[in-house]
Amino acid sequence: MADFAWSQASDQEPLLADTYRSTVASALTPFGLENAGEWETLRFYGSLSPVDRRRLLSAERLGFTSLSPPQTEALRRLLFSDASFYELESAHRPRLSEMDNICGPRFRPVETYLDEPTEVLSGGLPPNGFLEVKQSLRPAFTRRVAESSGERPGTFGLSTLALFASTLESLPLGRQQELVSSQGLSDLALCEERLFTVTFHVAPGIVLRKTLVETLAGTDRRRVSVQNLPADLQQLVEDRRRQLNLPAASSTPTTPNQTPRP
C-alpha cells in the first residue's frame, strides 16, 4: 500500500486518498481504521528505497539530510500535514487502541504549540532531524461474512474486541445475539498485525509518531466467538479492558444458554 501511495501522480492524490480512506482502509480495518488518515505517512514510507527500509528495520536512524529531493518533499508534506500532532518525547505512551492513529495526542486538555506544525517547525525541516522505525506484533481477529451479505471481512485488534465485550455485557440477551450476528462476531479467525511505529525527531525532546499496520495470516488457526473465547484469549481481552479502563468482565458471564443471576 505504501508503494501504491508513492506511485500516484500528485494531481490524483486527493481523489485517491479519499478512495483509500473510504474503501481500502475500511476494508482492512472497518472498526479501528488502523491506517486511516495516514496517506502522507504511506507516501513517505513508500518513497524510501529497499536499502533505507532495511536500515530502519535494523534499528538504524535515517537523517533528514540523507533523503533525496522527492523524499524530502514527501517528508515535508507529512510533517506539515493537518493530521500531524507532535508530542514531547518523554510523554511517550504505548499505542493500545486501534483508534490511536485517528485520535492520538490531538485531544489534549489544553491546546499548545505542539498542535501547530508551523510553530514546531518554524524554521522549516531541521537539518539535524532523523527518523527511526520499530516493529512489533499483536494479536488481531478477522470476521467471516457471507459473500451475499455485501459486508467486508475486516480486521480488528484486542482493543476493539474488548470494547465489544464490554458493550455486550451491558445489553439484554436478545440484543447481545443481534449485535454478535450483525457484526459477524460469532466466527472470528485469529491473525496478527505487524505495527511499524515511525518516530520523527524534529527538535530536542519533540517527536512525531506515526504507526502503519500490516495484517498477517498468523500461525494460530483457531476460530472463536466473542462470547466464548478460549481462556488464553479471554485473559488478553481482560488485560486490555483494564488498560483501557473498561469495566472488568462479570464473574458470571451471560451466554446464549445462561441468564444472569439476580
The pLDDT tens digits of the residues spanning 103-141 come to 455 445 556 777 788 888 988 999 999 999 999 988 888
- Chain-centroid distance of CA 105 in Å reads 14
Cell of 260: 444472569
Q: Residue 254: inside a domain, yes or no?
A: no
Cell of 239: 488485560
Q: Would you say 187 and 225 are in contact if contact means Cβ atoms under 8 Å apart?
A: yes
* pLDDT at res. 100: 53
Cell of 215: 495484517
Q: Residue 35: inside a domain, yes or no?
A: yes
CA-to-CA distance for 201 and 118, rounded, in angstroms? 15
Q: Residue 248: inside a domain, yes or no?
A: no
- Whether the model pTM is above 0.75: no
Q: Which domain holds residue 220?
A: 2-243
Q: Residue 253: inside a domain, yes or no?
A: no
Tens of pLDDT, residue by residue over 203-217, are 989 999 998 888 787
Q: Residue 250: inside a domain, yes or no?
A: no
* pLDDT at res. 90: 77
pLDDT less than 50: residues of the chain: 11-12, 20-34, 99, 101-103, 106-107, 252-262
Q: Residue 220: inside a domain, yes or no?
A: yes
Rg, C-alpha atoms of the chain: 21
Q: How many domains are contained in the chain?
A: 1
**CA separation (Å) from 147 to 57, 74, 116, 144, 205?**
38, 39, 45, 9, 50
* pLDDT at res. 262: 43
Q: Residue 210: inside a domain, yes or no?
A: yes
* pLDDT at res. 96: 52
* pLDDT at res. 103: 47
* pLDDT at res. 191: 84
Q: Residue 258: inside a domain, yes or no?
A: no
